[in-house]
Chain A
Amino acid sequence: MGRYVIRRLLQMIPVFFGATLLIFLMVNVMGDPIAGLCGDRACDPATAAQLQKEFGLDKPVWQQYLIYMGNVFTGDFGTAFNGQPVTELMASAFPVTIRLTIVAIFFEIVIGISLGVLTGLKRGRPVDTTVLLLTLVVLSIPTFVTGLLVQLLLGVKWGWIKPAVSPEAPFNELIVPGLVLASVSLAYVTRLTRTSIAENKRADYVRTAVAKGLPRRRVITRHLLRNSLIPVVTFIGADIGALMGGAIVTERIFNIHGVGYQLYQGIVRQNTQTVVGFVTILVLVFLLANLLVDLLYAVLDPRIRYA
């Protein structure tokens, strides 16, 4: 187990370097960002040159990358164009997005798995058909439509929530945005769980458990659900990274000043430091979430062992 974890952590190093290098190149390919800083008029050449020097943009890309990576290892993620250190932006954005992700994952687990178990056990019954239809509807509506609709109805027409989340973004204000963000994944989780449960219901070990006269509740939670969760856990694990990075739409609609917002600003302003910094962290989150998922397999199914 320990050796497996170490091996996986070592594997992350090339992935990490490759990913950051790719992002670095992609942002650089868009050209010189200084031109956008002066608005609809040209920067005077002397000031532009001075700014390029300050942000290290006057050097060749490979050199910029090496310097950047060197700085990252000392915890220095550079400076955004408005003079704020990127680490400061991260300190304000990541907690917000993490809270939003927690809310979204919570809904995925609680609602998604419950509905999945319910429909899986009652396959073909009206409950199953209704939930299947509902998930189909949710899957086919893009997040921005759901988001705007929910915002209009709950925020403006009925006044149940504030349409915009305050800068502090406490948990209670993030419930609705979190639900919107989770909606599509939630439908996937429901469907995955349903299929898995329905399949395993006829498995030998479930029949054995029932034949042993175990209480129904124990059969479902300990035997059926635990074994059916492996594909679901894989999905949710991968989703953690996707939700954090993909929150751009939801964060824009509900005025959440999180990672999505900072990334959007960074891309629009071609701020290499911001974009690379944030994506670097997201890559790490993604890799760690995947490792966690792989380790969870062993907990769910003792037959799986790591060498």
Chain B
Amino acid sequence: MRGATHAKWAALATAVALAATACGGGDDSGGGGANGTVSSSWGDPQNPLEPANTNEVQGGKVLSMIFRGLKQYDPKTGAANNMLAEKIETTDSTNFTITVKDGWTFSNGEKVTAKSFVDAWNYGAHLKNNQKNAYFFGYIEGYSQVHPDKGEPTAATLSGLKVVNDSTFTVKLSQKFSTFPDTLGYVAFAPLPQAFYDDHAGWLSKPVGNGPYTVDSYAKGSQMVLKKWDGYPGTDKAQNGGITLKVYTDNNTAYTDLTAGNLDLVDDIPASQLKNVSADLGDRYINTPAGIIQTLAFPFYDPAWNKPGQEKLRTGLSMAIDRKQITQTIFQNTRTPAQDWTSPVLGAEGGFKDICAASCVYNPTEAKKLVAEGGGIPGGTMKISYNADTGSHKEWVDAVCNSINRALGNNKACVGNPIGTFADYRNQVTQSKLNGPFRAGWQMDYPLIQNFLQPLYFTGASSNDGKYTNPEFDKLVNQANAETDTTKAVGLFQQAETVLKNDMGAIPLWYQNGSAGYSEQVENVMLNPFSVPVYDQIKVK
């Protein structure tokens, strides 16, 4: 039969084609040892790759490889150690003198000087450059002139920054901020070479920095190849020959590629694979705490949620949430029930302490009592808003609502309120349109207790989306910032946190862990407190 012959041919063609595919590929041939290359999963960065413009993890990964700043956070302890800074001196917590180490250059040969920092910070702060991290320079004097809330800038540079000589510059802050030096490890404070200003477009297509790696090639949206920079003057030289960052359309595919042996490192295990990850990877699965906390914020701008005595209601709701069960069943222990408003990565010295105590422990009877004493849920039903497009927010919001409903013995007490996209969600949050609790998350910029409290709960602060306000809290934060003794400063921040606890300004839910998996070809893989892999320490077998 003729038709049959056709079908046979088609089948044969398919088989041949399949065989051809199997033989194709084979692009990874980096070799082993110190010159071996590591392939790692990556997501398409949302913004152009500039230090002061990168506020998400994907772009941050690259910058952490090609830049070194004045300070560097220890990948294990999170402590801020001097990197390019010889010394940072102050007597009054307002005026700082920073000395830059000698002998550092950018990978294009330019010397790193005090000017490299001052120019970069001025660039980052200036309104016309549209830098999304500009507010990091908000503590420096003259910020409101180069970055006014409204209208045109009246100055081109920050008046608080002065170059003294090639290796020294001074910073004057507009308020006391004793832990300011410890913030300088954040990537927004990285130095920039002259090439950045001379050929901005060229720099963006192939960024040049002063870190242990250089960008070898960058195909936007698909992959970036980073090579070890042999002339790197720092002590944390790369232990491998290079890193290839591959953009994946879906982290499930990246995980599949890892299990098939085509990829060395996945730094975001998809939630759906958490059940299999131990069987698939064994001890090549990393699950370590990161400086990320998830909370439920309240709309204090809504009169219904801002009545005296409602702190009892909020505390009651907190006690109605069975954090332990939710982190176990929904997150497979990749989250840890929260005990305060900071993160365990700070350590006891940095200010992590069980401040929430009983108020964050599941206790249905007490919860029911407190909610009733606090006047009950406004309107009888509360909606927890979240964005439904990314993360598995729906699952845990539903679980939290179930837990609250069960504890209160009322099926209508709590429902989830999904919002289509992240952008739309953020719109509604920033415009104060939500009239019930909403999901809030905070990933630290630097491992300081200040970073967990001030931006989120200080009156009028940049990320105080619920508009929480308490003069006592503000006073203690200001005192803590002015305190030069770190231990005392941390103590004052903890007092402020106690004020927050008594108000239950936001319900702490859980701390998020970083989760990653790696192949048998590599070793010495770890995640830093920001849940970013420490790429330069990875060794290829």
- Report A-chain residues with C-beta under 8 Å of the C-beta of B441: 40
A117 located at the interface, meaning its Cβ lies under 8 Å from any Cβ of chain B in the complex: yes
Assess whether A42 is in contact with B463, with CB atoms less than 8 Å apart.
yes
**Contact between chains at A172 and B424 (CB < 8 Å):** no
Within 8 Å of chain B (Cβ to Cβ): is A270?
yes
Q: On chain A, which size bracket covers the interface?
A: 35 or more
Assess whether A255 is in contact with B424, with CB atoms less than 8 Å apart: no
How many angstroms from the CA of A220 to the CA of B55 in the assembled complex? 64
Contact A114 B259 (CB under 8 A): no
CB nearest to B55 among chain A residues: A39
B40-54, CB < 8 A from A: 44-48
Scoring B residues 435 to 465 as 1 if CB is less than 8 Å from chain A, else 0, what string do you get? 0000011110000000000010000001101
- State whether the Cβ of A50 lies closer than 8 Å to any Cβ in chain B: yes
Q: Is the CB of A41 within 8 A of B455?
A: yes
Q: Provide the main secondary structure of the chain A interface.
A: helix
- The residues in A between 119 and 170 inclusive whose CB is less than 8 angstroms from any CB of B are 121-122, 151-152, 154-156, 159-164, 166-167, 170
B423 interface hit (Cβ, 8 Å) = yes
Whether a CB of chain B sits under 8 angstroms from the CB of A252 is yes
Give the residue name and chain of the B residue nearest to A217 (CB). Answer: B2
Asked whether A117 and B17 contact (CB < 8 A) given A161-B22, A162-B260, A164-B256, the answer is no
The reply to whether the CB of B174 lies closer than 8 angstroms to some CB of chain A is: no
Taking CB atoms, residues of chain B closer than 8 Å to A162 are 25, 257, 260, 262
Q: Which of A30-38, A201-209, A296-304 binds B?
A: A30-38
B379 at the interface (CB under 8 A from A): no
Contact partners of A118 in chain B: CB under 8 A: 1, 3-4, 6-7
CB of B190 closer than 8 Å to a CB of A:
no
Query: Chain B contacts of A115 at CB under 8 A?
Result: 7
Please determine whether A41 and B463 come into contact, CB atoms closer than 8 angstroms: yes
Interface 9-mer from B155-163, B217-225, B468-476: B217-225
Q: Are A110 and B13 in contact (CB under 8 A)?
A: yes
Partner of A160, one of B18, B220, B221, B389: B18
- Is A239 part of the binding interface, using a Cβ–Cβ cutoff of 8 Å? no
Known: A83-B48, A166-B27, A172-B21. A92 touches B222 (CB 8 A): yes
A74 CA to B148 CA, complexed, in Å: 36
Residues of chain A with a CB closer than 8 A to B422's CB: 36, 268
CB-CB nearest in chain A for B220:
A84
Q: Is the CB of B47 within 8 A of A81?
A: yes
Q: How far is the CB of A210 from chain B (nearest CB, A)?
A: 15
Check: B248 CB closer than 8 A to any chain A CB.
yes
Q: Is the CB of A121 within 8 A of B462?
A: no
B198 within 8 A of A: no
A257 pairs with B463, CB closer than 8 A: no
A82-B48, A255-B253, A256-B249 are known contacts. Are A37 and B25 too (CB-CB below 8 A)? no
Residues 63-92 (chain B) with a chain A CB within 8 angstroms: none
Q: Are B204 and A83 in contact (CB under 8 A)?
A: yes
Question: What residues of B have a CB within 8 angstroms of the CB of A111 in the complex?
Answer: 7, 10, 14
Query: Across the interface, which residues of A come within 8 angstroms of B421, CB to CB?
Result: 30, 36, 267-268, 270
Q: Give chain B interface residues in 210-230, CB to chain A under 8 Å.
A: 219-223
B332 CB within 8 Å of chain A = no
Q: Is the CB of A255 within 8 A of B463?
A: no
User: Which B residue sits closest to A131, measured CB to CB?
Assistant: B7
**How far, in Å, is A171 (CB) from chain B's closest CB?**
9
Q: Which of B94-102, B107-115, B128-136, B502-510 contacts A (4 or more CB under 8 A)?
A: B128-136
Q: When the two chains form their complex, are residues A265 and B44 in contact, meaning their CB atoms are under 8 A apart?
A: yes
Q: Is the CB of B257 within 8 A of A167?
A: no
Inter-chain CA distance A268–B45, complex, in Å, is 13
Do A30 and B443 touch across chains, with their CB atoms under 8 A apart?
Answer: no
Kindly identify which residue among A50, A122, A160 contacts B21, using a CB–CB cutoff of 8 Å: A160
A280 to B51, CA, bound (A): 34
Chain B residue numbers with a CB within 8 Å of A121 are 1, 3
Q: Is A254 an interface residue (CB 8 A)?
A: yes
Decide: B426 and A82 in contact? CB cutoff 8 A. no
Nearest-CB residue, chain B, relative to A103: B17
Give the contacting residue for B46; candidates A37, A172, A216; CB below 8 A: A37
List residues 22-60 of chain A with CB under 8 A from any CB of chain B. 30-47, 50-51, 54
Interface contact A46-B7, CB-CB below 8 Å: no
Contact call B3/A114, Cβ cutoff below 8 A: yes
Whether the pair A163, B18 counts as a contact (CB closer than 8 A) is: no
Known: A31-B427, A82-B45, A114-B6. A46 touches B256 (CB 8 A): no
Residues of B within 8 A of A39 (CB): 55-56, 443
Chain B nearest CB from A44 CB (Å) reads 5
Mark interface residues in A226-259 (1 if CB within 8 Å of B CB, else 0): 0000000000000000000000000111111100
Q: Determine the chain A residues whose CB is within 8 A of the CB of B149 once the complex forms.
A: 44-46
Looking across the interface, which residue of chain B has its beta carbon closest to that of A42? B430
Kindly state whether residue A269 has any CB partner on chain B within 8 Å: yes
Q: Select from chain A the residue with minimum beta-carbon distance to B257.
A: A164
The answer to the question of B265 belonging to the interface, with a C-beta cut-off of 8 Å to chain A, is no
Which one of B4, B424, B443 lies within 8 Å of A270 (CB-CB)?
B424
Q: Closest CB-CB distance, B428 to chain A, in whole Å?
A: 8
Are B20 and A257 in contact, with the CB atoms below 8 A?
A: no
Interface residues of B in 479-518 (CB under 8 A from A): none
Contacts of B260 in A (CB 8 A): 155-156, 159, 162-163
CB of B244, distance to nearest CB on chain A (Å): 11
- The distance in angstroms between the C-alpha atoms of A84 and B247, with both chains bound, is 16
User: Nearest CB to that of B219 among chain A residues?
Assistant: A167
A48 — nearest CB in chain B belongs to which residue?
B430
- Asked if A173 is an interface residue, CB under 8 A from chain B, the answer is yes
Contact between B462 and A41, CB atoms less than 8 A apart: yes
Q: A110-B13, A111-B14, A114-B7 are in contact. List 14 more A-B contacts (CB 8 A).
A: A32-B423, A33-B423, A35-B430, A39-B55, A42-B462, A46-B147, A81-B46, A89-B221, A122-B1, A151-B256, A163-B253, A166-B27, A176-B21, A252-B250
What are the 9 tightest A-B residue pairs by CB atom distance, in nearest-first order?
A36-B423, A167-B222, A118-B3, A35-B426, A83-B48, A114-B6, A41-B463, A270-B423, A35-B427
A-B residue pairs in contact (CB < 8 Å), sample of 20: A30-B420, A32-B423, A32-B427, A36-B423, A40-B442, A40-B443, A41-B462, A44-B149, A46-B147, A47-B131, A83-B47, A114-B7, A118-B1, A156-B260, A175-B20, A253-B252, A256-B249, A265-B44, A268-B421, A270-B421
Which B residues lie at the A interface, using CB under 8 A? 1-4, 6-7, 10, 13-14, 17-18, 20-22, 24-25, 27, 44-48, 55-56, 127-128, 130-132, 134-135, 147-150, 204, 219-223, 246-250, 252-254, 256-257, 259-260, 262-263, 389-390, 420-430, 440-443, 455, 462-463, 465
